[in-house]
Amino acid sequence: MLRPIRVLVAKPGLDGHDRGAKVIARALRDAGMEVIYTGLRQTPEMIVNAALQEDVQVIGLSILSGAHNAIVPRVLELLREKEMDDVKLVIGGIVPDEDAEELKRQGVAAVFQPGASLDSIVQFIRSAVPV
């Protein structure tokens, strides 16, 4: 049997709105992935360390507060420092189009904005992770 895809779902920054993160975590689990949810108020350092220890292929960040431009580049930088370039970074939340394009240019694999279906997120992760 194939090893299931391992995903770290993380909630960075001070915001506590975790409805989206929890729904996504459940949906990925229902789709057969192994999901580790970090809980709230994780710094980029905590997130990348958890990703390393848990040996995940994907990190999903849920950000609704508008702090993505401060947080996401830092996560990318730490991933590069730790030579974890193969880990896919996926963002979900309230991210304007211009910012989404810029974050993708910097190395984010995908940005899912409000209204994105759970199915589209599952499909994307399956296609992005090499089997």
Partner 1 sequence: MKTAERAFTTISGVPIEACYGPEQLQDLDPARDLGEPGEFPYTRGIHRDMYRGRLWTMRQFSGFATPEETNRRYRYLLDQGQTGLSVAFDLPTLMGYDPDHALSEGEVGKCGVSICSLEDMETLFRGIPLGDVTVSMTINSPASVLWAMYLAVAEQQGVDWAKLSGTIQNDILKEYIAQKEYIFPPRPSMRLVTDTIEFGARHTPRFNPISISGYHIREAGSTAVQELAFTLRDGIEYVDWALERGLAIDEFAPRLSFFFNAHSDFFEEIAKYRAARKIWAYVMRDRYGAQSERSLKLRFHAQTAGCSLTWQQPYNNVVRTALQALSAVLGGAQSLHTNSLDEAYALPGEHAVTIALRTQQVLAYESGIAGTPDPLGGSYFLEKLTLDTERAANEYIRKIDQMGGMIAAIEAGFPQQEIAAASYRYQRELETGERVQVGVNRFQSDDQPIELLQIDETAARQQCAKLAALRKRRDAGRAARTLDALKRAAEGSGNTMPFILDAVRAYATIGEICDALRSVFGAYQENTHL
Name the site residues for partner 1 (rule: CB under 8 A). 13-19, 22-23, 25-27, 29, 37, 39-41, 43, 65-71, 94, 96, 113-115, 117-119
Nearer to partner 1, 71 or 125 (CB): 71
Residue 81 zone, left/alpha/beta (φ > 0; ψ -120 to 50; rest): alpha
Distance CA 30, CA 27 (A): 5
We find the least distance from the C-beta atom of residue 97 to partner 1, in angstroms, to be 9
Phi, psi values for residue 74, rounded to 5° = -65, -40
Residue 90: beta bridge partners? 60, 110
Nearer to partner 1, 43 or 49 (CB): 43
Nearer to partner 1, 85 or 123 (CB): 123
We find the least distance from the C-beta atom of residue 77 to partner 1, in angstroms, to be 14
We find the least distance from the C-beta atom of residue 84 to partner 1, in angstroms, to be 22
First to last CA, the chain: 11
Rg over alpha carbons for the chain, rounded to the nearest Å, is 13
Nearer to partner 1, 40 or 52 (CB): 40
We find the least distance from the C-beta atom of residue 43 to partner 1, in angstroms, to be 8
Distance CA 67, CA 125 (A): 24
